[in-house]
Structure 1
Amino acid sequence: MTTNASPGDTPAVDPAHITQAARDTLTVRRVYGDAYERGSTLVIPVATVWGGTGSGWGSGSGELSGKGAADWPFHLGRSPAPSEAPETSGKPSEGPGSGNAGGDAGGEGSGGGGGFGVRVKATGVYVVDDAGVRWQPAVDVNRVVLGGQAVLAIVGVAASLAWAIGRLRRG
């Protein structure tokens, strides 16, 4: 089996490496930040962390690639549908394996991929001082503004409906 890429051109995808990188990223250090001290007050930042990881791999074979790939339904022991019938106009066929215009029927394949994503959102801080430990939540101003806009829109629609119904009853 030959490959177009020489060894070293493209590193192999190692799903274990991706999972380890995600594990290193999704740690308690992301949730509880490094504590710092201001005067006699200790502040411990806290965040909410979401994350996910995924990976995949592929393979290939030469059975349905290259010259003659257009008659692939016959290899499966069934008659092709009209849309699957081999093209006879001399143009390259479309369908499984038609990407091998040279006609070599010894196709190969490989594949791979993966990644992970992380979302970190500040939640608040724990404040430790002479009065004890207390929680100070972080205020998400964007969420507050969006919530206010939604409430105003609902009130506006309700007022418009009440006004329209009142006019219909009077008229």
Structure 2
Amino acid sequence: MDIMEMIDKARDSATVRRVFGEPITADGVTVIPAARIGGGGGGGSGRQDGERPGEGSGGGFGVGATPAGVFVIRDGDVRWHPAIDYNKIILGGQVVAIVALLVVRAIARRRARRS
């Protein structure tokens, strides 16, 4: 694959169609899903003269998407409903609990040394 093909594929990947899904309508309510899109690319080249002659090339592109939420359209009123990532909430709670336990342990050790 040459560089122009890679650029064309990257451009096709980063379109509004990737961010907003197809609208879904039922019972007078329209729902439009939305996502967060992120991407990155890479490149390369090479030519070594001397002890290890050779040629090189490279390239790459990646796209990732995570749900962001949905727009709900009902009776001309548009509302945003964010997607909730419960795994992040649970992880955050665990981090807070660990920090709290470490603080309590440090306080208990200091009190024990004073006695």
TM-score (norm 2): 0.89
Report the CA distance between 1:60 and its aligned residue.
5.3
* Runs of 4+ off more than 4 Å: none
Higher helix share: 2
Q: Which has the higher strand share?
A: 2
Match of 1:19 in 2: 7
- Measured against aligned partners, the alpha-carbon deviations of 1:98-139 in whole angstroms (never above 9, x if no partner) come to xxxxxxxxx6x4321211011111110011112711110100
Alignment partner of 1:117 is 2:62: yes
Aligned partners of 1:18 and 1:53 also within 8 Å: no
SS in 2 for 1:110: strand
2:72 counterpart SS class: strand
* Paired residue secondary structure (1:113): coil
Q: 1:60 to 1:157 in 2, by over 3 A?
A: closer
The one of the two structures with greater contact order (alpha-carbon pairs below 8 A, sep at least 6) is: 1
Q: Which residue of 1 aligns with 2:101?
A: 156
TM-score (norm 1): 0.62
Aligned counterparts of 2:83 and 2:62: Cα–Cα separation in 1: 23
Q: Which residue of 2 aligns with 1:37?
A: 25
> Equivalent residues in 2 for 1:108-147 (5 A)?
109-130=54-75, 132-147=77-92
CA RMSD of aligned residues (A): 1.7
- The runs of 5 or more residues in structure 2 that have no matched partner are none
Give 1 or 2 for the bigger CA radius of gyration.
Answer: 1
